[in-house]
């Protein structure tokens, strides 16, 4: 065998040399080495922080979902609020609600700044009146018709001419579905009570108390009793069947006991004792009603069939409460401040006390609903419950099968099916019965 030449030996050795070069890592400059050392823990940190980033993103999305749920499903709002109160306390939840409603209002004032007020029903040309003055004061001058309590009430027109929809302040008859041929006992109107918010709405129902009477009922849970007799009182939470024949409507009551401890008496049983400064809705044995501060009414307490208290009267004897004179007033009630823009409800009486006014609103401050109720014709006004789930005005009709069914008179207001009828209400409420019914005079 011939010995390998030097050239052939060199050629065979090259692969080994080339392999050693491939295995050898390329040199890296000092700057790049330093950058790699710094970046290595950052990359590990980024991987470890991914769960925290996901959590930070998930929290606002979850809050948005819960907010939408609480404002779209009737039972969701109370459940979420009560659960939160049990964990963080009443005051903390109220503060969170105020923050959330304030954020929603700021968004609406930006997004809906050019929106026009909307009408929710047609007003027949036959019921329209000649244009009325542009009422913008806190109190309307009394008229003979208002003092005498003529029914239906006189059309009042819009509260603010520049912030009104067609038909604002015009009273429209509400047909009783069970007595469609009878003269209406109820009339309704719409008022836009806030210059700054075209979407703020106040729906008002006028009730002829000469042909209807109002009763109060305690809920199965609220207001929570603090007296011994109140704790022993059997709560039904429904309208007695004996009054079904003349049943017209129902509407929500006042705050939970924990939101101010406002008193209530029903069926001659005191559930919570009265507070002196509480605005009191009182029903008497002769079926008349009065609204006023407790200190002004308490001497006639033995003659009352029921009474229900709310925060200080919004309007009393035609005068707006001093705490509501300032449009930005935030001190009102005990659940949410007066400046909070929220769904509210209120109850009022005309000067003659023969017409009751029930108002339910969207996106209003305490002042807005007070001045709107006053504009509609109420001389004395008490605020009822607030928040999305509670304010409503429910009508009742009898089906072909003979069953009573409830429905909201105004679109968008929450009502749980058969509440006040077969479904017991957990919170107090009022209901309206025709006086010409053969059973409406019974007090059982």
- The alpha carbons of the chain give a radius of gyration, in whole angstroms, of 33
Q: Which two tokens stand for residue 360?
A: 């339910």
220 to 90, 123, 135: CA distances (angstroms): 21, 40, 43
Write down the pLDDT at residue 432: 98
The residues near 321 (Cβ < 8 Å, ≥ 6 apart) are 312, 313, 314, 315, 370
Write down the pLDDT at residue 444: 45
Q: Report mean pLDDT in 10-residue bins for the chain, 444 residues.
A: 50 48 54 63 56 62 59 60 64 73 86 92 58 36 55 95 94 94 96 96 98 97 97 97 95 95 96 97 96 97 97 96 80 73 96 97 95 98 93 93 91 92 96 74 46
Write down the pLDDT at residue 97: 72
Distance CA 284, CA 344 (A): 26
263-297 burial, b for 16+ CB within 10 Å, e for fewer? bbbbbebbbbebbeebbbbbbeeebebbbbbbeeb
The vertex-165 CA angle with 161 and 166, nearest 5°, equals: 100
Report the predicted TM-score, pTM, of the whole model to 2 decimal places. 0.79
DSSP track, 117-176:
P--SS---GGG--SPPP---SSSPPP-HHHHHT-SSPPP---SSTTS--TTTT--EEE--
Tell me which residue of 308, 293, 344 sits closest to 431, measured CA to CA: 308
Residue 74: Cβ-neighbour burial (10 angstroms; 0-12, 13-18, 19+): middle
Tell me which residue of 103, 106, 82 sits closest to 94, measured CA to CA: 82
Write down the pLDDT at residue 38: 56
Write down the pLDDT at residue 326: 76
């Amino acid at each position: 065998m011939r010995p390998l030449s030097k050239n052939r030996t060199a050629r065979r050795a090259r692969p080994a040399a080339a392999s050693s070069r491939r295995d050898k890592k390329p040199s890296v400059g000092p700057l790049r080495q330093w950058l790699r050392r710094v970046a290595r823990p950052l990359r590990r940190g980024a991987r470890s922080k991914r769960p925290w980033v996901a959590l930070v993103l998930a929290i606002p999305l979850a809050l948005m979902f819960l907010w939408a749920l609480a404002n779209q499903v009737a039972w969701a709002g109370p459940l979420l609020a009560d659960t939160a109160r049990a964990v963080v306390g009443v005051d903390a939840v109220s503060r969170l609600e105020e923050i959330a409603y304030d954020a929603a209002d700021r968004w609406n004032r930006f997004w809906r700044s050019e929106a026009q007020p909307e009408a929710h029903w047609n007003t027949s040309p036959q019921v329209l009146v000649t244009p009325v003055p542009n009422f913008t004061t806190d109190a309307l001058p009394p008229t003979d018709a208002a003092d005498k309590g003529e029914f239906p009430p006189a059309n009042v027109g819009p509260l603010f001419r520049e912030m009104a929809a067609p038909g604002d302040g015009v009273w429209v008859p509400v047909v009783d579905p069970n007595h469609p041929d009878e003269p209406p006992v109820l009339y309704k109107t719409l008022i836009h009570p806030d210059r700054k918010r075209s979407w703020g709405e106040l729906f008002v129902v006028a009730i002829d108390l000469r042909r209807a009477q109002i009763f109060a009922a305690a809920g199965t849970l609220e207001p929570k009793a603090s007296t011994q007799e109140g704790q022993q009182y059997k709560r039904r939470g429904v309208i007695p069947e004996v009054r079904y024949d003349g049943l017209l409507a129902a509407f929500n009551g006042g705050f939970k006991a924990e939101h101010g401890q406002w008193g209530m008496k029903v069926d001659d049983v005191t559930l919570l004792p009265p507070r002196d400064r509480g605005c009191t809705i009182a029903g008497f044995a002769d079926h008349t009603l009065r609204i006023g501060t407790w200190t002004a009414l308490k001497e006639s307490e033995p003659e009352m069939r029921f009474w229900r208290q709310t925060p200080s009267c919004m309007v009393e004897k035609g005068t707006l409460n001093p705490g509501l004179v300032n449009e930005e007033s935030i001190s009102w009630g005990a659940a949410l401040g007066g400046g909070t823009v929220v769904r509210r409800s209120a109850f009022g009486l005309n000067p003659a006390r023969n017409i009751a006014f029930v108002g339910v609103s969207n996106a209003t401050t305490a002042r807005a609903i007070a001045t709107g109720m006053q504009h509609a014709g109420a001389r004395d006004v008490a605020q009822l419950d607030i928040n999305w789930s509670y304010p409503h005005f429910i009508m009742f009709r009898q089906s072909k099968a003979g069953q009573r069914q409830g429905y909201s008179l105004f679109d968008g207001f929450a009502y749980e099916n058969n509440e006040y009828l077969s479904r017991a209400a957990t919170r107090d409420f009022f209901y309206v019965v025709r006086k010409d019914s053969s059973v409406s005079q019974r007090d059982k």
